[in-house]
A and B are shown apart, each in its own frame.
Chain A
Amino acid sequence: MKCFIGIDLGSTTTKAVVMDENRDVLGRGITNSRSNYDTAAAVSKQEAFIDARFTLMERAIGKIPGAGDKIERLLSDLRRNFQKTQFLEQLKDLEQTCDLHITGARFAGKEGHVKETMFKIFNDISTSAQELYAPDVKLKSDFFRDIAGSRFMRTAENEAQLAGLPFELLMNVYDKAIIEVENRPPEGDLRGKFLQGLEYLVAENSDIGVDYEQLRAAVSDTLDVELEETYVVGTGYGRVRLPFPKEHIRSEILCHGMGAHIMFKGTRTVLDIGGQDTKGIQVDEDGVVKNFQMNDRCAAGCGRYLGYIADEMKIGLHELGPIAMKAKKVPRINSTCTVFAGAELRDRLSMGESRADILAGLHRSIMLRAMSIIARSGGITDEFTFTGGVANNESAVQELKKLVKDNYGDVKINISAESIYTGALGGASFAQRAVMG
């Protein structure tokens, strides 16, 4: 089966989309960009191919008599158990890598003690995988580093105290090992992991609602389908680092414009707020870019700004929007400079302003800056699509909608749940066109 892949190498995350010959999306994958772009590209692509297998499985399971309304649940359980298998595999790798780092003068005389403590920590995390990947549990992150890291910190603090070891010593071992592990794409025996996931699924619930043999055959047949990596197009800020020939590289402007067009055919203006740039793009009825503007020299008001604010507040990035939505008023904050943001935040908190209000003001200031970029690119005359990671932030979206209405009246605003994949989607579409015309 011919597959066309788009990889969007962003400053924060790397996204991949796999498309078939008919330009239907088969799979999507995402990973953190790390400091190793090659690995990020490889991991996101592998994730997208795994997702593509699930899409094919969905089609195959749909043919099993009586599957009907059970497909969604079956797939969700299968996916969850597959992820658990993958998590446990990477956790084992992490444990072994940590073990290799327990050496040298710092550990003299206590290697055994440290290793024993580490064993307890990893054993605990491994056990907790059951609850992490239990049905209906929503993970806070899709990335191994985040999941394993938060568990490790929590467990290590306690175990370090019990063992009489410095917490920093254990964290230091972890920090060294995690970089190596995340730069090692997961091992390739995907078939084994899928089938293991299926075993877990049956183990946790014997009544799966369909004939097990037929389900296993559907999964197995799907795994037999060869997914040919026909053509890959790379885009995004790190695209020059991708190990692709030049003709396989497309600008993220073109990819976001095309991706938005594929998602919403009527799109004429696209706003993309990524980690370090904000893009205003005008496209025609075929998704061809007519004009664009980007932030210059300075990444004030981009996604990283929100990341910095979240760090300053010691909360997760995903928590910013919900907190800001509780604001009673939206203070005017002019500075979108990431460096000044911390001072601005502390200053306002000391003046007694609520976190929710301040965050609402910060979201508004980002959107004001984005509005300037949109205006410079030619403004909004018709259907408007907001893409990028920030499009998942409800407060940012709320402020954007207000500003668009104030400045351009009632225009249709599109936001897709998959908006973070817009660039990769455009890339995959260019890959498909490069081969199929």
Chain B
Amino acid sequence: MTTDNNTKAPVNLAKDVQKDHSQLMQKEMIRGNYKKLAEAVDDPDKKVVYTFVPGNLNELIQCFDVVGNYPEINALQSAMQKKTGAYIMEAERHGQDEDVCTYVKSDLGMMRKGNVGPSGDKIADPDLLLLSYTGCFTFMKWFEALRHEYKCDTTMLHVPYQGDGIITSNMRDYVVKQLKEDIIPALERTSGVKFDIDRLRENMRHSAKAEDKLVRVLQTAKNKPSPIDSYFGGIYYVGPSFSSFRGTPECTAYYDALWDEVNARVKAGQGPVTPEGVMQKERYRLVVEGPPNYTHMREFWKMFYDEGAVVVASSYTKVGGVYENGFRHDPDNPLESLADYCLGCYTNLNLPARTEMLENYINDYEADGLLINSIKSCNSFSAGQLLMMNEIEKRTGKPAAFVETDLVDPRYFSSSNVKNRLESYFQMIEQKRNSSAA
């Protein structure tokens, strides 16, 4: 039993969490990466590159035998371990304002407290800060703060925003030019390893395979019942392909294992696996926009599965790459394809494109409605969300609702408020169904 910060209302959570084999596999992969980051602390030959999830260049990074570290992933992992509250307060003590992105504050606070990662091991300082800028201005300020702190080499890939909703050849060329002239030289400089384009091609082959499999898994949510939850479960499913593992054979192996599990559930007509086992009755199919809350993930998820609500598609599982429209990392055009990947990330899409994507999800996945989880400290995601919501309601005729939480700041998850709204929303869907049937 846990107690909510704000209401002191007891919430019963099962002690024995049900986990799929693939989830355990992923856990091992993540543990392995943290181990490498820890080993690099005392090994000057092991070079460490800090970079972000959206628009990450993992296939390229892998070519230089460096270890990748993703600060947002550290923050979300720490949040699930209930550590971010203290990190955020530490960052605030050192001058970060209340409204600053809580990913940033968690990271800075963790650094201030010795940079001990979620695995319990120290994370090595960066040798290179590689900023792939894809639509979130905060990322730039974040790395600026880290550069100030670590005084290490820093390089930035400027990815033009898809303001007009298209990728032009100029945009692509601009990114490729930066890859050639700034990013690759920086990685060579840091690692001492010469860039080998064939190695990049090989990594991209692995990526494309994994991306095929990821899309296949996510699209099983079109089944009724959906065998997966594309939001709460989805964050696990996208994990390997969004981070240090994309472009590796182990990533592909992970998706094979995941596919076996999900496909078995499709065949058995089963719903998604929740922390309390397979969800029994699917009553509501939702599309969710916005990142999840990581500090109360299980409690938040429980509010859905207790009511038979499953998320069939979400935008958050596209922040590290949009693959459903056919894009794959292309070994035959490696740099151009890296450019297209970065340009096409969800965070780099304009509002009409994001709106259309969500509208398509509602139609393609036969969802009952749209739910927006607006993140208090993420202006990048939140700007325009109400506009999108109203537009999607108009286009689809499906009801929408809005809840507000935060990424990793436990102070901004108000359990009773969120539950109150979700219950209202589910009943609203029910009422609408009944009135349509009458």
User: Could you list which residues of chain A lie within 8 angstroms of chain B, going by C-beta atoms?
Assistant: 237, 250-254, 284, 286, 288-294, 296-297, 376, 378
Nearest B-chain residue to A252, judged by Cβ? B424
Q: How far is the CA of A254 from the CA of B401 in the complex (A)?
A: 13
- In the assembled complex, B396 has its CB within 8 A of some CB on chain A: no
Provide the B359-403 mask, 1 if CB < 8 A to any CB of A, else 0. Answer: 000000000000000000000000000100010010000011110
Answer yes or no: B428 CB below 8 A from chain A CBs.
yes
Q: A296-B414, A378-B390 are in contact. Are A291 and B400 (CB under 8 A)?
A: yes
Taking the nearest CB of chain A, how far is it from the CB of B315, in angstroms?
A: 20
Report yes or no: A250 in contact with B427, Cβ–Cβ below 8 A. Answer: yes
Contacts of A250 in B (CB 8 A): 427
Please measure, in the bound complex, the distance between the C-alpha atom of A291 and the C-alpha atom of B414, giving whole angstroms: 21
Least CB separation from B376: chain A residue: A297
**Do the beta carbons of B399 and A251 come within 8 Å of each other?**
no
Most interface-central of B404, B423, B435 (chain A CB within 10 A): B423
Residue B421 lies at the interface, judged by CB distance under 8 Å to chain A:
yes
Which of A251, A284, A288, A297 has a CB less than 8 Å from the CB of B424?
A251
A228 to chain B, nearest CB (A): 25
- Asked if A288 and B404 make an inter-chain contact with CB atoms under 8 angstroms apart, the answer reads no
Contact of B333 with A by CB under 8 A: no
Contact A296 B399 (CB under 8 A): no
- Does A288 contact B432, Cβ atoms closer than 8 Å? yes
A292: chain B residues at CB < 8 Å are 401, 424, 428
Q: Which of A297, A376, A378 contacts B412 (CB 8 A)?
A: A297
**B99 → A minimal CB distance (Å):** 14
Residue of A nearest to B429 (CB): A289
Check B420 for interface membership: any CB of A closer than 8 A. yes
List B contacts of A288 (CB < 8 A). 431-432, 435
Which A residues lie within 8 Å of B402 (CB)?
A: 293, 376
| Chain B 413-424 near chain A by CB (<8 Å), digits 1 or 0 | 010010011011
Return A24 CB to nearest CB of chain B, in Å: 22
Within 8 Å CB of B427, what residues of A?
Answer: 250-251, 253-254
Most chain A CB inside 10 Å of its own CB: which residue of B390, B414, B423, B424: B424
How far is A252 from B414 in the complex, measured between Cα atoms in Å?
Answer: 18
Q: Place the interface of chain B in its size category.
A: 20 to 34
Residue ID in chain B nearest A296 by CB atoms: B404
Min CB distance A373 to B, Å, is 11
- B428: chain A residues within 8 A (beta carbon): 251, 253-254, 289, 292
How many Å from the CB of A6 to the closest CB on chain B? 14
Known: A252-B424, A294-B421, A296-B414. 7 other contacts (CB 8 A): A251-B423, A253-B427, A254-B427, A254-B431, A284-B435, A289-B428, A297-B6
Given contacts A254-B424, A294-B421, contact A289 B431 (CB under 8 A): yes
Determine the distance from Cα of A237 to Cα of B417 in the docked complex, in whole angstroms: 9
Taking CB atoms, residues of chain A closer than 8 Å to B424 are: 251-254, 289, 292
Q: Which of chain B's residues have a CB closer than 8 A to the CB of A286?
A: 435
* Docked CA distance A364–B436 (Å): 40
Distance (whole angstroms) from the CB of B270 to the closest CB of chain A: 24
- A237 contact from B390, B420, B431, B435, Cβ within 8 A: B420
Question: Can you list 20 A-B pairs with a CB-CB distance of less than 8 A?
Answer: A237-B420, A250-B427, A251-B420, A251-B428, A252-B424, A254-B427, A286-B435, A288-B435, A289-B424, A289-B428, A289-B431, A291-B393, A291-B399, A291-B400, A292-B401, A294-B421, A296-B404, A296-B414, A297-B404, A297-B414
A residues within 8 A CB of B401?
291-292
Q: Which residues of A contact B400 (CB under 8 A)?
A: 291
Q: How far is the CA of A284 from the CA of B427 in the complex (A)?
A: 15
Q: Which residues of B contact A293 (CB under 8 A)?
A: 402
Contacts of B399 in A (CB 8 A): 289-291
Among B400, B404, B417, the one with the most A-chain Cβ atoms within 10 Å of its Cβ is B417
- Shortest distance in angstroms between A36's beta carbon and chain B's nearest beta carbon? 17
Q: Which residues of A contact B390 (CB under 8 A)?
A: 378
What is the CA–CA distance of A286 and B438 in the complex, to the nearest angstrom? 11
Q: How far is the CB of B101 from chain A (nearest CB, A)?
A: 18
Instruction: Indicate if the CB atoms of A296 and B417 lie closer than 8 Å.
Output: yes
* Contact bitstring B62-94, A, C-beta under 8 A = 1, else 0: 000000000000000000000000000000000
